[in-house]
Amino acid sequence: MAKENQAALTIQEEFAKKIKAENRREKIIKWAPVLVLLALIVVFTIARGSAFASVSNLVAILNQWAIPLIVALGLTFVIMLGGIDLSIDGTVGMAGSIASVLVMNTLNDNNFGIFGIIIAILCSVVVGFFVGLFHVKLKIPSFMVSFAFMNICTGIAYLSYSGTPATVSDPVLKALPKVSFLGIPFITWVALVMLLLCIYIQEYTPFGRYIYAVGTDETIPRSVGINVDHVKIKVFTLAGFLFGVAGVVGLIRLGQGQAGIGKDLMFPAQAAVVIGGTSLSGGKGGVLNTVVGTLIMTVLINGLTMMGVNPNIKTGIQGIIILVAVILTTKRGATVISK
Amino acid sequence: MEKKLLFSAKNITKSFYGTQALKGVDLDIYEGEVVGLIGENGAGKSTLLKIIIGVQPQTSGEMTMHGRPFAPADPMAANKEGIGMVFQEQSLIVNLSVGQNLFFGHEKDFMRMGFVNWKKMYEESKKVLEEVNCGYINPKKKVIDLNFATRQMVEIAKVVNLTKSGHDDQKCLILLDEPTSVLNEEEVQNLFKEVRKLTAKGHAVVFVSHRLDEVLEISDRIYVYKDGENAGNMDIKDATEEKLYAAMVGRETTTEYYHLADQKPAGKEVVLETKDLGLSGVFKHCNIKLHKGEILGICGVVGSGKEEICSVICGDEKPSSGELYVNGKKVDYSSPANALHDGILMIPKERHAEGIVRNLSVADNMALSNATLLSEHGVVSKKKVNDQADEWIERLRIKTSGREAELISLSGGNQQKVVFARALASQADIIILNHPTRGVDVGAKEEIYALTREVVAQGKSVILLGDTLDECIGMSNRVIVMKDGLITGEFQADAGEKPSQVSIVSLMM
């Protein structure tokens, strides 16, 4: 029966049907991340009951969520371009370390307060700018440039406190981790402000549209006179800014500046962005996808910890998640429109 | 009624790396008319359109628009003068909404206090869409959720809007490159309706298509190009399919060019057979037989499915229906390596992208397909690789500084010979030649033809996708014609009894 049906279709109808089926599949898969998040919440609630679904654990999740979210937001724009940024561990650690030796601390007599923090973030912004600049002007793949900068920044981080990490003694910074408003911890508020900023950039500025366009097909923005190189450099600079903010937030949380603030942030961030549905091939996804993606990662880690899973197995599970997410999204990217 | 000249191009030429894509073509367009532009693949239609829209400059020749000299530096400059183009591959950003696409690059006109005022943009979008009678399209919808016909209308709306920006009364020229290739009949009629509405307002449209019936239906005047030259310009009143076919096909070359004296009749033995082969949405019901020692030409325009058939035969793509038999045995390939194992090898069209490894030496490039044959105890023998290279460099008279030369240092024709050498050395019996003479000079072409004759003389069989119709007919023992994914005709093409180009073109378009 099905075979007869097929014979009755013309080639064009077959083609149209194929495209339709693909679009349908895509629509279904678009909601997959949200379903995964809900499923995780249900599973952990059933498994651990009130321990997981308690207010105190919710606050803990929000706390754990903050830094991965800020980092992943920066990465989202880079991946939407079709690029990748591996500098994260370095830049985040560098920003945190530099901030720690510029504010009131146990290592030296500096006390630049808020300016110290601004300088630290600026350092990260400059790194982002250079990653973008080298990538665009010298036509080096972004993963190579950013990987080099990861090492450079880690080096700078170590140098900034020359061996002995500085402990923050600024009273305001020391108090911040315990501050909360409406039950939400301060550092989560920082992350939420960054989220709003990114939503603004993505949805309400021309720049946000250009990111999608460059990621889809560079010739389209070029043909209307948009400077594609500038868009790319701006995206990497913006990512640098967010990594810098993440570094400072990490410092506030830890109370001590060290290169390790950025350690092991990169892969979970990549995973979160991709799981959220932002395609590695570019032009697709966005900030809200990353919100879901980071929540999935955070809830998963939190839930697994509660269930007493061996931390080494947790790392392995993260790897499998990245793999599955990449397989799903690359399939999504391969739309057949060449006839 | 006096017609007013809107656009004119005189004696436009364009050369790429020594080959001349345009040898001097003209195009005059008057306000309010639809001009059809037809010609074989490679006749120069797309090249001319790209020059008009400012994607690439002409080598020589002049253009005017609104009576003023016109030399766009980029598509934007062309847009300002009132010329817009709907590209064959659509240029919409699929994850943005219709409105965002319409005003892409012009968001600054909608900024209010640092925010893009989407509401205003969507209101404007509504007006733009209504202008081309597409008020039914919701500007807030993402392009990815629209079907191809609707996307096409969005493209047209975008182009019309771009070309009109600033001066509402300016007449514009819209270039449509193969706009109907993804549309069904009803959608095509819709498109035509919109085109007529545009021309009623005094705008002009250039319509490029492989489908002759559509060109005849919509155009007021038809230009025919052939090999980068003018081959006719006729009013629709005088145009018939027969006349157009005759204009499109050109001179038929001499028998020596294709070494017809060496063309031997094909053997009886069937080496490859497809039974009702199909690839969903691309081609179907394909029954092809290839005999031993035969050159089988497949003719068809881009999108006819001829390339995909070859992809299926050489194992690059899996068919969705039908069967493939090689030497009488049913086969089911999952990769080109499988097909090569049975002696099927394709020499790809995009030599630079698919056929060669630029930075490997001549010798290593030749050894790519038959490394196993050249190895001893699992290790590739350097001596055998070198011997093979020396042998083929001599046999094919490849001009190179030596077998160690990097392939990229050779000329196009000689690179192609290296690719041939690899195919011959691999001991494949069925060779698919996908546009083997594309981008090589005349001398090298002839050598490739001679070589192809030699290959079949050794009892191998060839499937040929020719660069021109003339080449396909001249070289083949038999010609199969395809149109829109179906085989529409088959001709015997023995030496001395070649089918005419017109008879083949009429089945292609």
Beta carbons of B280 and A12 less than 8 Å apart:
no
Give residue B455's pLDDT band: very low, low, confident or very high (50, 70, 90): confident
Q: What pLDDT is attached to residue A5?
A: 43
- Compute the mean pLDDT over every residue in chain A, rounded to the nearest whole number: 86
Q: Which CATH number applies to B254-340+463-509: 3.40.50.620, 3.10.129.10, 1.10.3720.10, 3.40.50.300? A: 3.40.50.300
How much is the average pLDDT of B449-463? Answer: 88
**ipTM reported for the complex, 2 dp:** 0.77
Helix (H) or strand (E) holding B277: strand B270-279
Q: How many CB atoms lie within 10 A of CB A4?
A: 7
Q: What pLDDT is attached to residue B73?
A: 87
How much is the average pLDDT of B314-336? Answer: 89
How much is the average pLDDT of B224-242? Answer: 85
Bridge-partner residues for B326, per DSSP? B272, B329
pTM > 0.90: yes or no: no
- A162 pLDDT above the threshold of 80: yes
Give one word for B120, left, alpha or beta, with left for phi > 0 and alpha for psi -120 to 50.
alpha
How much is the average pLDDT of A187-203? Answer: 95
- A6 pLDDT above the threshold of 50: no
Domains (range + CATH), chain A:
58-296+310-333 (1.10.3470)
- Compute the mean pLDDT over every residue in chain B, rounded to the nearest whole number: 84
- A238 pLDDT above the threshold of 70: yes
Domain residues of chain B, as ranges? 5-248, 254-340+463-509
Of residues B93, B284, B484, nearest to A213 (C-beta): B93
Cα A77 to chain center, whole Å? Answer: 9
Give residue A2's pLDDT band: very low, low, confident or very high (50, 70, 90): very low
Beta carbons of B105 and A221 less than 8 Å apart:
yes
- A63 pLDDT above the threshold of 70: yes
Reported as a single tens digit per residue, the pLDDT across A254-294 is: 988 888 898 888 888 988 998 888 888 888 889 999 999 99
Reported as a single tens digit per residue, the pLDDT across B373-416 is: 777 777 888 888 888 888 888 888 888 888 888 887 777 778 88
Q: What pLDDT is attached to residue A293?
A: 92
% of chain B with per-residue pLDDT over 70: 95
A33-47, A110-124, A304-318, B461-475: segment of lowest average pLDDT? A304-318
- Does B123 contact A at CB distance below 8 Å? no
Beta carbons of B93 and A225 less than 8 Å apart:
no
Of residues B116, B145, B182, nearest to A206 (C-beta): B116
Give residue B351's pLDDT band: very low, low, confident or very high (50, 70, 90): low
Q: What pLDDT is attached to residue B337?
A: 84
- B305 pLDDT above the threshold of 50: yes
**Count of CB pairs separated by less than 8 Å, A with B:** 94
Long-range contacts for A208-211 (Cβ within 8 Å, ≥24 apart)?
A209/B93, A209/B96, A209/B100, A209/B104, A209/B107, A209/B116, A211/A77, A211/A80, A211/A81, A211/A235
- Which residues of B are less than 8 Å from A199 in CB distance? none
Q: How many CB atoms lie within 10 A of CB B335?
A: 12
Could you tell me which chain A residue has the CA closest to the CA of B305? Answer: A339
Beta carbons of A224 and B76 less than 8 Å apart:
yes
Q: Which CATH number applies to B5-248: 3.40.50.720, 3.40.50.300, 3.30.9.40, 3.40.50.2300? A: 3.40.50.300
Q: What pLDDT is attached to residue A175?
A: 86
* Greatest pairwise CA separation for chain A in angstroms: 84
CA distance B393 to B380: 20
B160-164, B192-196, B309-313: segment of lowest average pLDDT? B160-164
Q: What pLDDT is attached to residue A3?
A: 40
- Which residues of B are less than 8 Å from A204 in CB distance? 114-116, 118
